[in-house]
Amino acid sequence: MRMKWTCATAVAIILCCHAGIGPAAAPTSRELRPIGEVLALPLEVLETKPSVTVRGVTIWRNDWSFVIQDDTDGMYVDVHRAAEAGIWTDHSTPNAVEVGTVVEVEGDLIPAGFSPAILPRAIRVIEKAALPPPKPFDAERFFSGADICRIVQVTGVVRGVSMENHRYRLTAETQGRTFEATLGELASEKVTEPLLDAVVQFTGVAMPVHNTRGELVQIQLYIDYPEWLTVVTPAGDDPFAGPFVPLASLGRFRREPLRGHMIRTEGTVVHAVPGQAVHLQEGINGVVVQTYSTEAFEPGDRVQVAGFLDHSGRVARLAGALVRKSGRDAPPTAHAVTPDEVLQVNQVATTSRLMALPGDYDGCLITFEATLVERQSSDDRGIFVLASGKTGAVAYADPLVFRALDHIKVGSLLAVTGIAESVPAVNAASSPLQKIDRVALLLRSANDIRVIRAPSWWTPRRVMIMLASALAALAGGALAAAGWIILLRSQVARQFAVIQDKLHAEAVAEERRRIAREFHDSLDQGLAGLSLRLDAAARQTGDAEARGVLLQQHRFLASLQNEARNFLWDLRYPTHVEGLLADSIRAQLLYMGSLTPLPLELEDHGPPIALPQMEHYQLVRIVREAVNNSIRHARAHRITVHLGGAVPDSTPGFVQVVVQDDGVGFDVATRANAVGHFGVRGMQERSRRIGAELLVDSVPGRGTRVVVRLPLRKSAADEHRAALTAGA
């Protein structure tokens, strides 16, 4: 391994000696401990941030941090976080710490994201040394994250290739599981042949990608040297020369495994989105092919596909595929089958543990009649909530298709055609055969929905009006009878409206909950993964301008994550709220408490408080925003919500909510007007909307106190007083 040793580096070491960085003249006063022993400390010890001293060879570094490895294990040295905490005076990694130098690090041990890391207080460069030999591949250790921060060697089939800033990023598979490999500039320059479907031996530093719970999501290898990348078996000249597997047999039994290589299949196109996906159908079998190909395909095109088998979804699909047209056929016809029948077929298969017959319809074009219950839209798609039989369905369309169907009114009877997707139940993971909860449809164009019958003019309200008018005419001058009829008409109409509203609200509420679950499992988790990748990319790049752009995008993504969580909460808790204010706040704190380790407490100091729906809703949103700001920015140890108020005998009274934390505080005037910070401004707007007073009291270093005081209208005060009387 060739390592550069320049005069500038030598000068840097001499200068760093005055800052506690450089060749050690005497042993450290602290006890030197093996890295493996330090990593084995229990969580309750790590949470106390014990001071430790470790020594190892630097095996990887960037401008913010570095990784060291000794004979027992490897560890991440987080210089950037130490600088933020004020225990390290420089935000960059010392120049004297090069790959291949032995360093001694003294600092505070913390739990970090996935594995323990050290926040350095002092770094001493000891000497230059050879890198440790790569650790042989052990699948269980590798994919569980036990070998992170160590040099490991693994051989796998390359399933995906992309390039960012002249650096290759590879997705590879070994033993049926995937990992990522990021090549440095030197290693990327070595790549002179196609890597897709090649068998490659990777040597690199294993690093984790984790979620907010500190759980491992993906293993990523950093490969900085050309000799750390060896092509064992080159990719074939023709990607379409792989073994042929019929569309209906993609994920089914084979005597010989495919070993992660590309396979070949063919089918008829039912729908295609260039650069994203091609939907194929053969009889009762449908398959989604994920592809980066921008070639346009039309329904009825016969295509050949070369891709990698992907088992990550409920049914098998092909990923990273190449697609080429081979002929022309009649477009696949839609199967006339209702959502109830699709669920029944899958339920029978789940219960019997046999294949669904004639098929499960997943990925196939189906058609049925349904009534439009509700329509919703977002930036990336529109949603139609459909009532059909006992279960109903949801149809998705891109914004252009959704707008083209804007003329269809709620209550219309429709003939709906689309590509079916069976959506598993929430507890699907508990069963080897996943129970299907509902059916979703992908609408290909506006022609996939046809109006059979518009909503009837004879609504219950109009019927009662006509009936009352006729009875009134027959009654002639019988004023008393006419008055009674008018009163009856009004009461019956109101009851019909209430019944209709309740039925509609129940259907909408259930679908909102389903959509919230789906968004949580895909959008929220996807944003979290993207946030981690942006953070990792920012730490890796040596280009200051590129790093600034990545950090800016990381902050923007954090804002999007917050908005996504607000959207999910709004889906589960719409403006139609009822019950006591304390119950709603308590439920919200329980939900937010699942996303943070901070203790969130509610202290209810007064009698039960019942408010009108809009005031109830806006107060809960203000509490949510204030608590969320404390979680994100305050670095607090505790957040408490105080709820109270007073209802004097002669005045309407008020409700007061206080959100208090013991965090670092901030300058209220500066933050309220800062670009990109809308928390305080948003709470002020919500307060004005319901006539409440908002006070934000915060000083840097002394925590934050948000007070909302809502004068009660007379009707609300009466409800409040009645609740107090009932409690007594």
Q: What angle do CA 159, 164, 167 make, to 5 degrees?
A: 80
One-letter amino acid of 433: L
pLDDT digits (tens, 9 = 90+) for 84-107: 888 888 767 788 899 999 999 999
pLDDT digits (tens, 9 = 90+) for 230-244: 999 998 888 888 889
The arithmetic mean of pLDDT across residues 349-366, rounded, is 84
CA-based nearest residue to 239, from 176, 316, 169, 321: 321
Query: Position of tokens 């298709």?
Result: 401
Instruction: Enumerate residues 6+ apart whose C-beta is below 8 A from 505.
Output: 576
**Which has the higher per-residue pLDDT, 385 or 553?**
385
| Cα gap 286→279, rounded to integer Å | 7
- pLDDT above 80: residue 289: yes
Give me 506's structure tokens. Answer: 């129940």
pLDDT at 212: 82
| Cα gap 230→112, rounded to integer Å | 33
pLDDT at 180: 94
Query: Position of tokens 């790549």?
Result: 191
pLDDT at 121: 93
pLDDT digits (tens, 9 = 90+) for 614-671: 888 889 889 988 998 888 888 888 899 999 875 544 445 889 999 999 998 887 766 6
The arithmetic mean of pLDDT across residues 32-51, rounded, is 91
Least confident range from 184-188, 248-252, 495-499: namely: 495-499
Write the CA distances from 248 to 352, 441, 465, 592, 721, integer angstroms: 21, 21, 58, 44, 68
Instruction: Enumerate residues 6+ apart whose C-beta is below 8 A from 728.
Output: none
pLDDT band at 434 (very low <50, low <70, confident <90, very high): low
pLDDT digits (tens, 9 = 90+) for 298-329: 999 999 999 888 887 778 888 888 999 999 99
Query: Position of tokens 């942006």?
Result: 534
- pLDDT above 80: residue 571: no
- 358: preceding bond cis by omega (within 30 degrees): yes
Beta-sheet strands, E only, within 311-354: 317-328, 335-336
Instruction: Enumerate residues 6+ apart whose C-beta is below 8 A from 226.
Output: 186, 187, 189, 190
Give me 305's structure tokens. Answer: 């596909």
| Cα gap 388→391, rounded to integer Å | 7
Instruction: Enumerate residues 6+ apart whose C-beta is below 8 A from 281.
Output: 267, 268, 270, 287, 332, 363, 364, 365
Give me 133's structure tokens. Answer: 């030999």
- pLDDT above 60: residue 496: no
One-letter amino acid of 365: L
| Residues of the chain above pLDDT 70, percent | 73
Instruction: Kindly report whether the global pTM for this prediction surpasses the value 0.85.
Output: no
The arithmetic mean of pLDDT across residues 486-497, rounded, is 60
- pLDDT above 60: residue 427: no
**Which has the higher per-residue pLDDT, 456 or 333?**
333
**Which has the higher per-residue pLDDT, 661 or 9?**
661
Q: Is residue 83 within 8 Å of residue 90, measured between CB atoms?
A: yes
Instruction: Enumerate residues 6+ apart whose C-beta is below 8 A from 455.
Output: 409, 410, 411, 412
- pLDDT above 50: residue 389: yes
Give me 536's structure tokens. Answer: 């990792």
One-letter amino acid of 546: A
- pLDDT above 80: residue 473: no
pLDDT band at 675 (very low <50, low <70, confident <90, very high): very low
- pLDDT above 90: residue 56: yes
The arithmetic mean of pLDDT across residues 565-593, rounded, is 69
The arithmetic mean of pLDDT across residues 355-372, rounded, is 88
Q: Is residue 374 within 8 Å of residue 411, measured between CB atoms?
A: no
Least confident range from 16-20, 78-82, 322-326: namely: 16-20
| Cα gap 376→405, rounded to integer Å | 12
Q: What are phi and psi of 148, to 5 degrees?
A: -70, 155
One-letter amino acid of 428: A
Please tell me what DSSP assigns to residue 276. T
Q: Is residue 396 within 8 Å of residue 383, measured between CB atoms?
A: yes
Beta bridge partners of 161: 170
pLDDT band at 28 (very low <50, low <70, confident <90, very high): very low
CB atoms within 10 A of CB 613: 11
Residue 401 host element (H or E)? helix 399-404
Give me 303's structure tokens. Answer: 């295509």
| Burial environment of residue 253 by CB neighbours within 10 A (0 to 12, 13 to 18, 19 or more) | exposed
Q: Is residue 399 within 8 Å of residue 377, measured between CB atoms?
A: yes
| Residues of the chain above pLDDT 90, percent | 33
The top-scoring range by mean pLDDT among 123-132, 259-268, 504-513 is 123-132
Torsion (CA) 472, 473, 476, 478 in degrees, nearest 10: -10
pLDDT band at 586 (very low <50, low <70, confident <90, very high): confident
pLDDT at 701: 84
Segment 18-21 long-range contacts (CB within 8 Å, at least 24 positions apart):
19/89, 20/122, 20/123, 20/124, 21/94, 21/96, 21/97, 21/122, 21/123, 21/124, 21/125
